[in-house]
Amino acid sequence: MSRRLTLRDERWPLAAAFVIARGAKTEAHVIVAEIAEGGAIGRGEAVPYGRYGESVEGELARMEALRPALEAGLTRQALQKALPPGAARNALDCALWDLEAKLSGVPAWRTAGRTRLDPVKTCYTISLDTPEAMAQAARPMARRPFLKLKIGGPDDLDRVAAVRAAAPKTRLIVDGNEGLSFDDLVRLTPEFARLDVKMIEQPLHADADEALEGWISPVTLCADESLHTCRELAACARRYGAVNVKLDKAGGLTEALAVVDQARALGLELMAGCMVATSLAMAPAMIIAQGAEVADLDGPLLLARDRDPGLVFDGSLIFPPTPQLWG
């Protein structure tokens, strides 16, 4: 059966500027792969990330170079060796998962070894800003089960304290995006514990996180930029208590499932994470989120508008995707 590959990039405006320690963005610039075969079309979406040396143009070129092999029937397993982990492989891997589900009639979650696909509750992210502005943003979100706060500056303790006052009952996660020094972390962590922060995500730069080995944190530390594929898990297990598994970092659902299994075997907690993107990127991550301690799949909530059809959100609760969206 012949295949046809279609590639494109799309821009999705954000509802408000999204600010982290490394900078700000006002739109989600995504890449989309569609693989047509036998009357079915499988789709995958990914977000090239400059932090990892990626660009939209570069990732589209990677996929275009693989067009002859894909259209000749390249398998999902062979794709893992044909491309390195990253956005290009993620878009193609998820498109192949979707295509297989549509051709076979077997849902992707069942092929992934899950017995069911349940709704999950997602974090909601508060962008980096002044303590007052972050508290103002958090106040109407105070009934959500989890808020994730972006930090990365001299007023970090004031930021977290202001949000805690505005949302006294919600569980808080703090995300440093590699913006803290080890001295900052040692100084701030007891105060974060006092404010009942449940997790600190990637406080140190990935190249400097060996400083965490042997240090006992009063708050669970979660690897993000330090964890891409199974290769980094052993080091992460010595430095962190949890890992953030993202399809874009792993290079697709295939590798992400392996990361989840090995992380669990190492005794690590799991966060199912995302880049800011549409529901098409979140849908396969719903499989990773099953049983995870934290789901952080709020990308569509940060957009001015989402893809149609998209995932259905009821507050922080995300319902499983329909086959029309993915899987």
- Catalytic residue numbers read 150, 246
Q: How far apart are CA 7 and CA 96, in angstroms?
A: 14
225 in Cβ contact with 202 (< 8 Å): yes
215 in Cβ contact with 238 (< 8 Å): no
Tokens of 299: 């990308």
Query: Residue 275 contacts by C-beta under 8 Å, 6 or more apart in sequence?
Result: 28, 47, 49, 246, 248, 281, 299
Read off the DSSP letter of residue 319.
P
Please count the other Cβ atoms lying within 10 Å of the Cβ belonging to residue 16: 11
Tokens of 235: 């080091």
**Could you give the residue ranges of the DSSP H alpha helices within the chain?**
56-65, 67-71, 76-82, 87-104, 108-111, 131-138, 156-166, 182-194, 233-239, 247-250, 253-265, 279-289
Q: How far apart are CA 231 and CA 87, in angstroms?
A: 17
Q: How far apart are CA 277 and CA 299, in angstroms?
A: 5
Please count the other Cβ atoms lying within 10 Å of the Cβ belonging to residue 307: 22
Q: How far apart are CA 196 and CA 134, in angstroms?
A: 17
SS3 state at 215: coil
Q: How far apart are CA 121 and CA 97, in angstroms?
A: 24
SS3 state at 69: helix
Q: How far apart are CA 221 and CA 217, in angstroms?
A: 7
